[in-house]
Amino acid sequence: MKEKPISEQHVKGQDNIHTLVLFNDDYNTFEHVIESLVEVCGHDPVQAEQCAVITHFKGSCEVKSGNLSVLNTMCRGLNNRDLSSEIKS
């Protein structure tokens, strides 16, 4: 039997999964973005660097998924560091 990808599976208690998206800009340095992702989102440095590179080349990157209240806190933290982010449902 072929399993469904996790994005298609129904996970009990997680009907309203939200995603925190980081957007590219022309003024923040890679160092600042990486440091912010580590401190605000709990990324390890390698993960943060990968997200920064994806954001730079693709224009945006989904950096975290989960509970809306947790993501709201992270979104405000990134925005307070002059990074452009938003939560998508």
pLDDT digits (tens, 9 = 90+) for 25-70: 999 999 999 999 999 999 999 999 999 999 999 999 999 999 999 9
**Residue 63 included in any domain:** yes
Does 9 score more than 50 pLDDT? no
pLDDT, position 5: 45
Give the count of domains, the chain.
1
**Residue 21 included in any domain:** no
| pLDDT category of residue 4 using cuts at 50, 70 and 90 | very low
**Residue 49 included in any domain:** yes
Residue of 37 and 14 predicted with greater confidence:
37
**Residue 54 included in any domain:** yes
Range of the domain at 84: 28-88
Cα–Cα distance measured from residue 81 to residue 79, given in angstroms and rounded to the nearest whole number:
5
**Residue 20 included in any domain:** no
Q: CA separation (Å) from 66 to 2, 31, 53, 88?
A: 26, 25, 22, 11
Q: Give the position of tokens 């993501």.
A: 71
